Amino acid sequence: MNRLVTCLIVLSLLLVGGCIIIPLGTDTIGKEIGDEDLAFIELGVTTKSEIVERLGEPHNFVEEQNVFTYLWTNKTLFIVATPIGAGDGDRITNDAVCVQFDSNDHVKRFKQIRGKKHLIRCQEEFPNGE
């Protein structure tokens, strides 16, 4: 009988116990660009040289579409605790800022992309110069 009660208690704990995720911190690889870093941009006014002056050299430039790409990666470490054990892991996400320029090298549009698991390609965000 004691064995049956013990098994039922353990099974109950597993079913209702859930798990706990404890983040240990995030490392950023590359220069993160936030909303405040982009606040100066005015469509049709801000120039390519002003973008480089404020944000630095882009990681990539697609000449055919006149698009700059700025990339960075966030790696978050965490511990997972469950009723039957614990482990650790990480979550890696890719973020980007894409800036497209018109024929006069003024900002035509820009876009922030956050939390992607795959590599971000800005030229795919602005297909055919649209």
Ordered by start, the domain boundaries in the chain are 19-129
Q: Looking at the predicted structure, is the pLDDT value of residue 36 above 90?
A: yes
Helix (H, G, I), strand (E, B) or coil at 18: coil
Burial 8-24 (b: 16+ CB within 10 A, else e): eeeeeeeeeeeeeeeee
The upper half-sphere exposure of residue 28, i.e. CA atoms within 13 Å in the direction of its Cβ, equals 11
**Higher local confidence (pLDDT), 5 or 129:** 5
pTM of the model: 0.72
Radius of gyration of the chain (CA): 23
Q: What is the pLDDT of residues 53-79, one digit of tens each?
A: 999 999 999 999 999 999 999 888 877
CB atoms within 10 A of CB 46: 19
φ/ψ of 75, rounded to 5, equals -120, 115
